[in-house]
Amino acid sequence: MSTAAVLRDHTLDLVLKGYTFAREARDRSEDPRKGSRLMLRALGRGALLVRGEEGVRLFYDTDRMRREGAMPAFVGGGLFGKGSVHGLDDEAHRHRKSMFVRTLMDPQRVAELLEASAREWSEAVEERWLSGGSASVYDVSVEVYGRSLLRWAGVEADRETLTRLAHDEADIVDGFAVLGPAWLRTQVKRRQCDAWFTDLVRRARAGEVTPPPGTAFEAVLEHRELDGEPLPDHIAGVELQNAIRPGIAVCRFAAFAALAMHEHPGWRERIFTETVERGSTTDGPLAVAFAEEVRRYYPFVPLLPAVARHDQEFEGEHLAEGDRVLIDIYGTNRDERHWSAPEAFDPERFLGTGEVFAEYFVPQGGGRPETGHRCPGEMITVGLLAQTVAELSRLDAEVARDGLDWSVHRLPTAPRNGVLLSRVRRRG
């Protein structure tokens, strides 16, 4: 790469180009090895853009990379909250994260969540669609996921408050990396939600609220840091949201799943048949494979940043201490070196292989959640999304064609109309 290209800062390009940034940067490069790594400049200093299995190994090597200071404050503060687990490293990170791993990766607790969300789906379908109304899959999923997750996490409130909180948390995700009004809305919702959850923590510590045992709310209250101190009220409120909001964000995948079912009616019929035969909308193998392919094929997280702990080399590139490494999440999930026909939507790739593609299937990060920075909520994500696919397969509906497009430049993206359904009726 030319000296001029290296010296040019690509921060604005990243914000404006969104999911196409990494691919276009590689396409412009003169380096013949650009497929796996590319040196550029972002956020004021050197940055190494990586993808694929080798990039994942580098990015999630905690001996070589750290997270503290990696995410720009204007992004991370709005999305994750100040003082959250996402900015910690080493033993402090592992210790704090163990709180999430125990709660979010407990199979019995995940099963309880899916039972609750199945009830919410039944009510929401009746209320939002079968009554004759029209609503988008995105909006309905926000409410179903949000109310289910909030109650499951131990947050008790009336249905109207839970619905409002669900939409507020979805808005925090919607504008975290957008220039304009959506970013401002994220900041407002962030402050409002932080205040609400901080007050909830204070009331619990004052004995006015008692969270159910085994819930994320109880875990946050009981957690002690390495120094033996409890989390401050504000950070406890932030971390309680971090146990809930990523699940609500799955509403974007839900909208993409609805779009995929609309565009692949054969798969819709296969999943409907499976759902009827099993008598359940939970954990059907076809629905799970479809959900996994939605996570691989459609964009969610574009890039994630880390910071080099020390001077080092990677595939002939020199990384100075403090340089950033950017893992191309979207590009890794479509890397032609690892995936057969990556531009084709094909859930069959997740059926009958016995593989988990751990090193290059990274829609919510790589590595192991117990010891690294991979999201511990993937069981919840896949469970909710597969259940959604099964629920939608049981509906006949008119799909509004205007607005099914989605922008590759907006972070994060989703079908423009959220996949709007009307004239909905149950099949069979």
CA angle 371, 366, 51 (to 5 degrees): 140
Residue 193 structure tokens: 């939600």
In this predicted structure, what is the pLDDT of residue 403? 97
Model-level pTM? 0.94
In 181-314, DSSP assigns E strands to: 303-308, 312-314
Which CATH class for the 3-426 domain?
Answer: mainly alpha
**How many CB atoms are closer than 10 A to CB 198?**
18
State how far the Cα of 398 lies from the Cα of 389, in Å rounded to an integer.
Answer: 17
In this predicted structure, what is the pLDDT of residue 311? 96
DSSP codes of every residue in 127-151 = IIIITS--EEHHHHHHHHHHHHHHH
R_g (Cα) of the chain, nearest Å: 21
pLDDT tens-digit profile, the chain (428 residues)? 344 444 578 888 887 898 999 998 888 876 655 567 889 888 778 899 999 999 999 999 999 999 888 887 656 556 777 888 888 888 998 999 999 999 999 999 999 999 999 999 999 999 999 999 899 999 999 999 999 999 999 999 999 999 999 999 999 999 877 777 888 898 899 999 999 999 999 999 999 999 999 999 999 999 999 999 999 999 999 999 999 999 999 999 999 999 999 999 999 999 999 999 999 999 999 999 999 999 999 999 888 899 999 999 998 889 999 999 999 999 999 999 899 999 999 999 999 765 556 678 998 887 777 666 678 889 999 999 999 999 999 999 999 999 999 999 998 999 999 999 999 999 97
State how far the Cα of 216 lies from the Cα of 103, in Å rounded to an integer.
Answer: 6
For residue 305, the one-letter residue type is P
Contact between 374 and 367 under an 8 Å Cβ cutoff? The reply is: yes
Residue 176 structure tokens: 């975290």
State how far the Cα of 314 lies from the Cα of 119, in Å rounded to an integer.
Answer: 50
* Spatial CB neighbours of 341, under 8 Å, sequence gap ≥ 6: none
In this predicted structure, what is the pLDDT of residue 89? 86
In this predicted structure, what is the pLDDT of residue 344? 97
State how far the Cα of 255 lies from the Cα of 170, in Å rounded to an integer.
Answer: 13
Total length of the chain:
428
**How many CB atoms are closer than 10 A to CB 329?**
24
Residues paired with residue 319 on neighbouring β-strands, in sequence order: 312
B/e letters for 226-241, b = 16+ CB within 10 Å, e = fewer, are: eeeeebebbbbbbbbb
* Spatial CB neighbours of 131, under 8 Å, sequence gap ≥ 6: none
DSSP codes of every residue in 185-216 = HHHHHHHHHHHHHHHHHHHHHTTS--PPTTSH
> Could you tell me the residue ranges of all domains in the chain?
3-426
State how far the Cα of 162 lies from the Cα of 286, in Å rounded to an integer.
Answer: 31
Task: Write the CA distances from 131 to 125, 134, 139, 426, integer angstroms.
Answer: 9, 9, 16, 12
State how far the Cα of 166 lies from the Cα of 69, in Å rounded to an integer.
Answer: 29
Q: What are phi and psi of 226, to 5 degrees?
A: -60, -25
Dmax over CA atoms of the chain, in Å, equals 65
**How many CB atoms are closer than 10 A to CB 135?**
19
